A and B are shown apart, each in its own frame.
Chain A
């Protein structure tokens, strides 16, 4: 297959994926730094390059509400947003998941107000982590593009909505080399749209979103939880198929020089790229440093993660959001929790970094690895929760 090599920003890459998916309906509202996705897509509609009915709504709440209506009516449906927009959708996120609608959001990670800020952190999608949406984090434009195409297929396999994330500006606005899959290949990879039900089937009328009280609600939620478990299998299956056809296989993680590593950083998003540079430098010094990049945060691959890190001496979890619990960030909580039953546990500590788009430099990451080595030497964690690159 002939892939086209182009230069695209993360936003352009996600918009291209949306164009190739050619959804029945896109309902969206502009928000920095995801505006471009909606803008580009509008142009595709205006130029007749997609068949999509574009609904330029008056808010993100209405964007996702319209998506719910559109998906319930049997359409393949997508939208895009960031930060405050995702926060405004929050109520409807749970409804979309509860109604088991395979909607895909291209989400640009921007910090939540306040104070208001337009740059990158993960506070927006982390605040949505328990909403029943599959979450795929992207390291760069290519991954944002590849994840978007896979997300649609995964969502339709398990009837759960999915969000693909890309770091604000660092990915959304950076021009990178991108390998584009031919349009028809994307379509054949996705196959026919799978819908959970069809509101427009007038001969078989259904009632959706009815009041569900103590006697049934729990069973319905239990099914949703089971679907999230099934999503693990679907993600692996789709990631393998994607690899077979398009060359890059995807799973829950990307393991970077982890085979013989004795210490590692766990992170997600664009900071994984910076970390790789540091890992390479440390390796040249003979240090066995590794990186475990989490691609799939929901569902959380706890058993698989445990296996990847249990033999390490020390692990630093990088979080681009704080849990506001005074006990670290959301990724740290998951990682630490899944090691609880393990007989072998690496020393595990947390670094909160990059809030509101604060740059993270290779030197910062090098500090983290050096800290880990010191902890290993002492045999204990010096500081459990750390804040990286902040004036204190």
Chain B
């Protein structure tokens, strides 16, 4: 694995000058992923923030091949790229190892692209799928997705006078993809670049489908000042809201265990989308959110202990 010093000396493959918001977590993620993958890599991106900010014709932030097809089909599209790659390799027309990385936001991955992703994983295409999970449809203006946390305010799960934000817990996509029994599945977050880049390196070294779900703090959608992106990313791991862990060949391993698990309010109070939950009358919602985090974290601990 490259050191931070080595990585910072590398020429960016996801170049600056793209149109992402200040403090955007996803652009940091793509920079880390592309630097780790190197230039022999093809990216296939779903419609969403990252496609929009990186490719406005005639400009592009991509110094490596990039293909965008539509919203729900980056995994299927990458399946096709990989199939041609295999065909050309068989004929000897291409000899290099090429990394194929598909990505999408949580909308394009958890929701509308779920089927396409599931199919690609089941067919065992040799690709890495990256979800940059900013926990709502940010590109269209912060609508709820199945990744949006319980209680969060979005424009389609607004904190109203009767209903206080999103009423459902998020889908556990990481485990859903792990249930496809693919060789490598992981969760990561951009503040821990060493963990993130190690996971990308690991995933790309594997012959078969791999998946990394990366939490992607979004200043606009989560309503926090842009300078707090990394702090919020870190707190997500420290509160165990977003455990950094991996599932290799069906065995769970936790990559970061906080010495002292922080209460979820530590993470929530920095974000405007949870502001309404901090009112006294919504204390029971916070309690439910905390209970769910505890339940999932304990489940993860038990799985690690059981070596499953």
Interface residues of chain A, those whose CB is within 8 Å of chain B, are 24-25, 27, 51-53, 55-59, 61-63, 65-75, 77, 91-92, 95, 199-202, 205-213, 216
B70 contacts the other chain (CB 8 A): yes
Closest to B39 in A: A202
Instruction: Give Cα distance in the complex from A72 to B43, angstroms.
Output: 12
CB distance from A109 to the nearest CB of B (A): 25
Which residues of B sit under 8 angstroms from A52, Cβ to Cβ? 87
Are the C-beta atoms of A210 and B56 separated by less than 8 Å?
Answer: yes
Cβ contact within 8 Å between B65 and A201: yes
Q: Is the CB of B88 within 8 A of A211?
A: no
Q: A45 to chain B: closest CB distance in Å?
A: 12
Q: Please, how many angstroms separate the alpha-carbon atoms of A57 and B76 in the complex?
A: 8
Binding stretch for chain A, among B113-121, B142-150, B215-223: B113-121
Whether A68 lies near B69 (C-beta < 8 A) is: yes
By a CB distance below 8 angstroms, the chain A residues around B68 are 208-210
Instruction: Report if A210-B83 is in contact (Cβ < 8 Å); known contacts: A51-B91, A61-B76, A65-B77.
Output: no
**B55 pairs with A65, CB closer than 8 A:** no
From residue A103, how far is it (CB to closest CB) to chain B in Å? 10
**Any A CB within 8 A of the CB of B64:** yes
Q: A59-B119, A92-B73 are in contact. Are A205 and B81 (CB under 8 A)?
A: no
Q: Is residue B42 within 8 Å, beta carbon to beta carbon, of the partner chain?
A: yes
Cβ of B55 and Cβ of A69 under 8 Å apart?
A: no
B60 partner residues in chain A, CB cutoff 8 A: 207, 210
Partner of B64, one of A25, A51, A53, A202: A202
A/B pair count, beta carbons within 8 Å: 165
> B52: CB under 8 A from chain A?
yes
Name 18 interchain pairs, CB-CB below 8 A, sorted by A: A27-B83, A53-B83, A59-B116, A61-B72, A62-B119, A66-B76, A69-B77, A69-B79, A73-B80, A73-B85, A75-B87, A200-B98, A202-B39, A206-B66, A207-B62, A209-B55, A210-B68, A211-B57
Contact A71 B85 (CB under 8 A): no
- Contact check: which of A27, A199, A216 meets B65 at CB < 8 Å? A199
Question: Are B80 and A67 touching (Cβ within 8 A)?
Answer: yes
Q: Which residues of B contact A212 (CB under 8 A)?
A: 57
| A202 B84 Cβ-Cβ under 8 A | no
User: Given A51-B91, A61-B76, A62-B73, is A199 in contact with B115 using a C-beta cutoff of 8 Å?
Assistant: no
* Docked complex Cα distance between A207 and B64 (Å): 8
A380 CB, min distance to chain B CBs, angstroms: 49
By beta carbon, the residue of chain A nearest B116 is: A62
Beyond A65-B70, A206-B65, A209-B67, is A216–B84 a contact (Cβ under 8 Å)? Answer: no
Residue contact A70 to B80, C-beta cutoff 8 Å: yes
20 additional contacts (CB under 8 A) given A65-B80, A68-B77? A24-B88, A27-B79, A59-B116, A65-B70, A66-B79, A66-B83, A69-B84, A70-B84, A71-B84, A95-B69, A199-B67, A200-B42, A202-B98, A205-B63, A205-B65, A205-B66, A206-B65, A208-B66, A208-B67, A210-B57
